[in-house]
Amino acid sequence: MSQPAPASGASQIDTVGRGLSGWVPRIMVAAAAGGIVAVLMANGIGGAALALVVLAVVLSVAMPSSPAPTLVLVLVGLSVLVLGRDPLAGPVLALIPLVHLFHVSCAIAGTLPAKSRVHLSALRTPALRFVAIQAGVLALAGLLALVRVDHVTAPLEILALAGLAAVAFLMIWLIYRA
Measured N-to-C along each axis, helices 68-83 and 23-42 cross at an angle, to the nearest 10 degrees, of 20
When pLDDT is averaged across residues 17-44 and rounded to a whole number, the result is: 88
Statement: residue 66 has pLDDT above 80: yes
pLDDT interval class at 74 (50, 70, 90): very high
Residue 57 and residue 23: Cα distance in Å, rounded? 16
Higher pLDDT, 12 or 161: 161
Average pLDDT of the chain?
84
Question: With bands split at pLDDT 50, 70 and 90, how would you rate the model's confidence at 16?
Answer: very low
For the segment 97-139, what is each residue's pLDDT rounded down to a tens digit?
999 999 999 999 998 888 888 888 888 888 898 999 899 888 8
Lowest mean pLDDT among 65-74, 107-116, 141-150: 141-150
